[in-house]
Chain A
Amino acid sequence: MADLWPDLGKYTFAVLSSYGVGLGGILGLIAWSMRANAKTRAELDALEKRGGPRR
C-alpha cells in the first residue's frame, strides 16, 4: 500500500482535502438518506399495525 501511495508533493493538502470533501459529502448523503428511510419505514409500520387502512 505504501508503494502505491502517490507522491502528491506540495499539493498534498489540496488533493487530500478535495477527496475528503467529496467522500465526506457522498457518505453523509448516504447515511442521511438511509437513516431517514429507516425512520419513516418504522413509523409507517407502527401506524399500519395500529389498525390504519392498508394498501
Chain B
Amino acid sequence: MSIWEFANPARFMKLSGRVLPFAAVLAGLCLGVGLGWGFFLTPDDYQQGSTVKIIYIHVPAATMAINIYGMMGVMSLIWLIRRHHVSALAGRAAAPIGAVMTLIALITGALWGAPMWGTPWEWDPRLTSFLILFLFYVGYIALWEAIDDPDAASDLTAVLCLVGSVFAIVSRYAVLFWNQGLHQGATLSMDAEENISDVFWQPLVITMAGFFFLFLALLLLRTRTGIRRRRIRALRMAAHASAEAAEPGAVEGGAAHG
C-alpha cells in the first residue's frame, strides 16, 4: 500500500476518524501531566526564579510554530508537484494553529523577557524572524480567504508558503547564526553539556509531546472540516448546474460559494 492512497479524501476521512480520538486523548494526557508537573512540582531557577515555569508554554509553542510552517511547506510542495487536494487542505488547516502557536510564543516571550531582559521586545534576530513568521502565517490565511477558486488559492498560497519557509529556517537557526541578540541559545540540544537540567527537561519533553499530539488532533479535525466544505461546494455547484439545465437563466450566482 502506498502512502499516496491516503491522499484520497474518502480514505483520509476513514483513517483520520480512527486516529483523531487517540491523538486527542494523548494530547490531553501529555499536556495535563507536563504542565501540571512543570507548574506545581519543579523548583525555581537559581537565576530566573519562578519565571522558568514559562518555559513549559513558550518553548513548545515556539517549536510548534516553526515545525508547523515546515509541515505546511511540505504540503505546499506536494500540492504543486502531485496536485493532491488533501495536502492543500491540510496546509490550510494547519495555518491558524501555527499562527496561534507563534502568537503564544511571541506574547509569552515578551512576558518572560520583561523581567529578565528589562524589556518585552528587542529587534533581536530570533524575535524579529518570529514576528516575520507570524506575518507570513497571517498573509497565508488571508490569501486563502481572499480567493474563491480553491485550486487557484492552493497554488498561490503554496508559493507564498514556500517563500516564507526561508523565515521558518531563519527562525529556527537565528540563535546559532547571530550571537549578538538578547535571546538565549537553543533550550534543548543533543549535547548534554548544553542541555537544561533534567528537573526542567523531563516535564518539558512531555509538554512538547502534548503540543505535538494537540496539533495532530486539530490538524486532522480541521482537514476533515475542509474536505466536508469542499463536498458542500461540489454539491451546491451540482445543484446549481442541474437547476440551470432544467430552467436556463432562472438561477443566478451564489451557488458556487461554499
Contact = CB atoms under 8 A, between A and B. Distances in A.
A34 B194 CA distance: 41
List 9 A-B pairs, minimum CB-CB distance, nearest first.
A22-B57, A18-B108, A52-B235, A8-B50, A18-B54, A37-B225, A40-B228, A25-B104, A11-B51
Contacts of A29: 96-97, 100, 218
B50 A55 contact: no
Contacts of A41: 225, 228
Interface in B95-133: 96-97, 100-101, 103-104, 107-108, 111-112, 114-115
A23 B224 CA distance: 24
Q: Among the interface residues B31, B44, B228, B229, which one has the most CB atoms of the partner chain A within 10 A?
A: B228
Contacts of B84: none
Interface residues of B, number: 41
A36 B225 contact: yes
B221 interface: yes
Q: Among the interface residues A15, A41, A55, which one has the most CB atoms of the partner chain B within 10 A?
A: A15
B54 A14 contact: yes
A30 B218 contact: yes
A52 B229 CA distance: 14
B166 interface: no
B231 interface: yes
B100 A28 contact: yes
Contacts of B112: 14, 18
B104 A48 contact: no
A39 B96 CA distance: 18
Interface residues of A, number: 36
B19 to A, nearest CB: 15
B112 to A, nearest CB: 6
B218 A33 contact: yes
Interface in A1-20: 4-12, 14-15, 17-19
Given A4-B40, A9-B49, A15-B50, A21 B228 contact: no
A47 B69 CA distance: 34
Given A11-B49, A30-B218, A47-B236, A18 B40 contact: no
A32 B96 CA distance: 10
A24 B50 CA distance: 21
Interface in B207-258: 214, 218, 221-222, 224-225, 228-229, 231-232, 235-236, 238-239
A37 to B, nearest CB: 5
A22 B51 contact: no
Interface in B8-45: 10, 31, 35, 39-41, 44
B158 interface: no
Contact of A48 (B61, B222, B229, B235): B235
